[in-house]
A and B are shown apart, each in its own frame.
Chain A
Amino acid sequence: MHIPDNYLSPATCGVMITAMAPIWTVSVLKVKAQIKTKKETVPLIGVAAALAFLIMMFNLPIPGGTTAHAVGGALLAVLLGPWAACLALSLTLLLQALLFGDGGVLAFGANAFNMAVIMPFVGYACFQIGQRLHHEKIGLAVGAYLGINLAALTAGIELGLQPLLAHTSTGVALYCPYGLKITIPAMLTAHLLIAGWVEVLFSVFVYQFIKKAAPTTLYQAPATAKSFKVFYGLLIGLIVLSPLGLLASGTAWGEWNNHELAQRLHTAAPAGMTHGFHFNALFSDYAIHGLSLPLGYILSAVTAVLIFAVAMRVLQHEH
């Protein structure tokens, strides 16, 4: 699930980082509110990030002798609250990228979006629905499964869009070489079949222990109905906006002809390219139609920020 560097174009990375900025800001604000009731929340985020790190590095056995690992996004959201979980997971991903070689440095924004936003928020939403129906554990299980699979789907989309977003004029992909037709099934099968269930078992068993051993330590959602609405609105907004952010950067390149490009990817590259040292043919005419690279980069980033600012404004009004 950790996307390494160079699989995403710098533009996508920029968009994802800019998309994360408002989410982190809101998380900090929400956590500040949380501190009023539970004062230990600030140090808890740091320590919980360490816990998340250990969860992600722990090899869980799966039938067949190999291992998988859980992310714990939904579980942490239930334990700490989704906002604190978002911050803790982001922190973990940052350290993993910088110091431990899991996930790319430039791809940090994308990884944070997939694992520190989608997973905890989807997981927590399902848990809350389960709680209302008096089946918390089922809610958490569904949330863990849905959360990790949605995150995998998003990662698949981010990767699969790359051949469309960044390619040479002859259609050779510059970053992730696989299109959506390959990345989405590849990411989803692994997670639907194995990683999703690992995540479910892990989350439910840990939750069960804590529920019995120390139920008071679980995160209590603020009881007002309004915050519920805001929370759901934001959740839906985030999910809708994630492909939009990418699309925005896509249109900025001035090209949006999926079928043709996808086909090109699957058919032969021009003979000159397969023969090694014709570097001129390969690289010199890397030019984006209509827009220069930095300009497109900046435009898409600003677009994402503005869209998020508008969304935030709408939500604020509701308050």
Chain B
Amino acid sequence: MITLDQLTYAYPSGLGLDKINLQIKRGEFVCFMGPNGCGKSTLFNILSGLKVASSGTYAFQQTTIDATYLKNAQQRQRLHQQIGVVFQNSDTQLFNLTVADEVAFGLRQLPLAEAEIERRVNDCLVLTGCRQLRERVPYHLSGGEKKRVALASVLALNPDVLILDEPLNGLTPAAQHEILALLTTLQQAGKTILIASHDYLQIKTSAHRFVVFNEQHQIAYDIDRTSLATKPELQKELALL
């Protein structure tokens, strides 16, 4: 579904990603780990079409995503529907007057009847457990509530790939558990889940594959859960990240 070939991204101040090779299949649950500033967020920005790689290629469903592809508004919007992103800072993702409007923002641009929009908004709010927040102003919600609303608003567009940057930060343990359960359900329904996390212990039962960056912005390990189970010293290292 996603293929990265020798993908490099350079900031004016230095490299953001260094020759990344990566293949992700439909329905995978991948956790990206690594120290701060190692390139996770840069990678997510490239995957979602916000940034274009300096060199190397990025293909999504066998289509190369580059500057020319993204220039076309319709192609870009199609990519945005297929790849949903929940930002690390959900403050910057919420800008509507009510939670219901927030979730309906993307839906209102689609050729859907008002009743259908209403149904999908409701479904998303129920799934993420924020039905009671419906008429609240998103800006005034607590950090954890904002995270859920952001997830609901991204989910509403029914993306094939869901990218979540540190989605568990600021959530209570119970809420973390609920969100992970929802992500697993989505993954079992065929969605691809890409998640960045610092918390190995929290995520280890949900994710199937771990991609670990080093400080040189390269991939240090790319390992699935069963192989990881045989390497206790690597597990310890990940838990300390």
Contacts and interface: CB of A to CB of B under 8 A. Distances in A.
Interface of A: 209, 212-214
Interface residues of B, number: 4
B139 A212 contact: no
Name the residue in A209, A212, A213, A214 with the highest tally of chain B Cβ atoms < 10 Å from its Cβ.
A213
Contacts, number: 10
10 contacts: A209-B97, A212-B97, A212-B137, A213-B97, A213-B137, A213-B139, A213-B140, A214-B137, A214-B139, A214-B140
Given A212-B97, A213-B139, A213-B140, 7 more contacts: A209-B97, A212-B137, A213-B97, A213-B137, A214-B137, A214-B139, A214-B140
A144 to B, nearest CB: 21
Nearest to A213: B137
Contacts of A212: 97, 137
Contacts of B140: 213-214
Nearest to B137: A213
A212 B97 CA distance: 8
Interface of B: 97, 137, 139-140
Contacts of A213: 97, 137, 139-140
A209 B139 CA distance: 11
A214 B139 CA distance: 9
Contacts of B97: 209, 212-213
B93 to A, nearest CB: 16
Contacts of A209: 97
A212 B136 CA distance: 11
B124 to A, nearest CB: 21
Contacts of A214: 137, 139-140
A209 B102 CA distance: 13
Contacts of B137: 212-214
B100 to A, nearest CB: 14
A315 B140 CA distance: 43
Minimum-distance CB pairs A-B, first 4: A213-B137, A212-B97, A213-B139, A213-B97
A4 B82 CA distance: 47
Nearest to B139: A213
Contacts of B139: 213-214
A212 B140 CA distance: 12
Nearest to B138: A213
A182 to B, nearest CB: 40
A208 to B, nearest CB: 9
B39 to A, nearest CB: 28
A213 B96 CA distance: 9
A213 B137 CA distance: 6
A209 B97 CA distance: 7
A199 B140 CA distance: 27
B69 to A, nearest CB: 22
A214 B141 CA distance: 13
B110 to A, nearest CB: 22
A112 to B, nearest CB: 31
B90 to A, nearest CB: 16
A116 to B, nearest CB: 28
A209 B101 CA distance: 13
A212 B139 CA distance: 12
Nearest to B95: A209
A212 B98 CA distance: 10
Nearest to A209: B97
B88 to A, nearest CB: 22
A205 to B, nearest CB: 11
A81 B139 CA distance: 23
Nearest to A208: B97
A316 B237 CA distance: 72
A214 B138 CA distance: 11
B138 to A, nearest CB: 9
A111 B97 CA distance: 35
B220 to A, nearest CB: 39
B47 to A, nearest CB: 27
A214 B137 CA distance: 9
A214 to B, nearest CB: 7
A199 B206 CA distance: 50
A70 to B, nearest CB: 18
B105 to A, nearest CB: 14
A78 B137 CA distance: 21
A241 to B, nearest CB: 42
